[in-house]
Chains A and B, each alone.
Chain A
């Protein structure tokens, strides 16, 4: 077998012998990718097909499942709690993405400049990224706790509030607490993505504009931003996709509360599928979510395809 593939490896430099080799090395290449294909088929492609199939059924955890056509999808149109969850998810996505960019862009500009300590700052800003969302949520659940936490007691001791103020008891403080937590956790990631974009801009361009008398804001607007289109698009899509799929922080920190006002789309699907065990209905909801994400990915591909933008 080694002699067969030896020829395959030598292919590009010896085009004359190409044909025979290509034919005989077919199976060897397939052998190398077989384990990966097997995994992706069993745990991704088949489940994907099953999701579509199950969405057309009434499928309880126990007992027989029954074909019901598009009834699940009809039910979705009347499921106000799902639409509320979706509305909340989109609201959260918009706010958190703006917040992340508002923090990450200045950070990227700050750490991108070559100066002593720049890499130390970069590492510090990045540390929360490698901490998982579950750990971060558990950590902030404690910081936000009204009695044993940090913020409420500290505010009281500093005389900012008269009594301890429970940050997660009402919607707005709870929501903004999550936003702060997520920005703290994710800004470093967006920062590094944006930084790679900044570094790809030739310094000569900046220098030339400077000599021509452009101020820092003009240079940022007319050189930095246009040349970073692709990077910004990428960072944007990663942030939007991640936020639409948000679950951990709302489940751990707020349990969907106060009064079910922070249930996200994934959270609602989780509830329907694994708390109420309506597997068929959960699958139909999943299909809706899936379509949203695939459309988003296709937009991403489009945005990333023209390097210079139009």
Chain B
């Protein structure tokens, strides 16, 4: 707790400073390793040959030769890893696009137009964040079957996009609010139509908001577990988390830990890469939510 001090303006020339720096970076590095270790452990161990992957992962890297066998094995379970991966990519990809488009339109509508019950609609959408979706899964299940969408990826996507709405619309309305109205006026005087105005003039200006919304939509839908578990009962429609849990529970015979970690790696890598590339947008989204 003593670290609350606001030293580290880095202008201290006193002795003992370098010892302190070494200590602090020592702690920083140690903690970083601690947080990354489980991820690194899982990824490294997937390259062991299956026989070695059954043994405790000490050390985590392969010692009896490099192998991709675990990834190959995984494809033999149920409908296959790559089939589930395709489902996941389709679900997450469509959710990202739909979330971005729908919240872009709604954000524009809420920011730039006046219409009856505007505030009521806005509060209605935002207040859904208070209600846990876990408590309305049963009726969602029934509604999807009434719409003929039970056990379809389309149904799952629509549910996912709905769950993204409060955060995304809040983000996009703020993004539009931050654009000066004069820019629009100038474009209108130049004769831009309504739609051209949104796509050509406004879109580039609110693009960071769109990326943030898309990034959150991807991470949330790619990793979502409970709704997919409840709504997708047919093995051919399993997304990766459901598929891998089935493998881990021994549904397809003895648990093959090498294969499970291969699946975990496939699930983690896209999230980690996207986060490292778009970290700025992620933090922006978090703080926007936090500061509101």
Contact = CB atoms under 8 A, between A and B. Distances in A.
Interface of A: 1-2, 5-6, 8-13, 22, 25-33, 35-37, 39-40, 42-48, 50-51, 54, 105-107, 109-110, 113-115, 117, 120-121, 123-128, 130-135, 138-143, 145, 147-150, 152-154, 157, 184, 188-189, 192-193, 196-197, 203, 206-207, 210, 216-217, 219-220, 224, 231, 234, 241, 245, 247-248, 251-252, 255, 266, 269-270, 273-274, 279, 282-283, 286-287, 289-290, 293-294, 297
10 contacts: A54-B138, A117-B28, A131-B271, A135-B241, A139-B42, A141-B248, A149-B257, A189-B286, A290-B135, A293-B132
A85 B124 CA distance: 31
A217 B56 CA distance: 44
Contacts of B162: 39-40, 42-44
A235 to B, nearest CB: 8
Interface of B: 1-10, 24-25, 27-28, 31-32, 35-36, 38-39, 41-42, 53-58, 102-103, 105-106, 108-110, 112-116, 118, 121, 124-125, 128, 130-143, 158-159, 161-162, 165, 169, 181, 184-185, 188, 192-194, 219, 222-226, 230, 241, 244-245, 248-249, 257, 260-261, 263-264, 267-268, 271-272, 274-276, 279, 282-283, 286-287, 290-291
A196 B125 contact: no
B136 A150 contact: no
A148 B55 contact: yes
Contacts, number: 321
Given A47-B139, A217-B2, A153 B56 contact: yes
A51 B140 CA distance: 9
Contact of B106 (A32, A47, A133, A188): A32
A203 B6 contact: yes
A125 B31 contact: yes
Given A193-B290, A196-B287, A138 B244 contact: yes
B224 to A, nearest CB: 8
Contact of B1 (A44, A145, A217): A217
Which residue of B8, B114, B165 has the most chain A CB atoms within 10 A of its CB atom? Answer: B114
Contact of B28 (A27, A30, A110): A110
B131 A6 contact: no
B25 A117 contact: yes
A154 B130 contact: no
B3 A110 contact: yes
Contacts of A22: 114
B137 A273 contact: yes
B245 A138 contact: yes
A13 B3 contact: no
Nearest to B230: A274
B77 to A, nearest CB: 14
Contacts of B219: 130, 132
B41 A143 contact: yes
Nearest to A118: B28
B186 to A, nearest CB: 10
Given A9-B181, A44-B128, A273-B138, A142 B225 contact: no
Contact of A286 (B28, B42, B136, B291): B136
Contact of B102 (A35, A206, A231): A35
Given A12-B181, A44-B131, A127-B35, 17 more contacts: A5-B113, A30-B115, A31-B109, A33-B109, A47-B143, A48-B136, A113-B8, A131-B267, A138-B260, A139-B38, A142-B257, A149-B257, A184-B38, A206-B5, A217-B4, A234-B290, A247-B225
B139 A46 contact: yes
Given A33-B106, A139-B42, A123 B276 contact: yes
B124 A125 contact: no
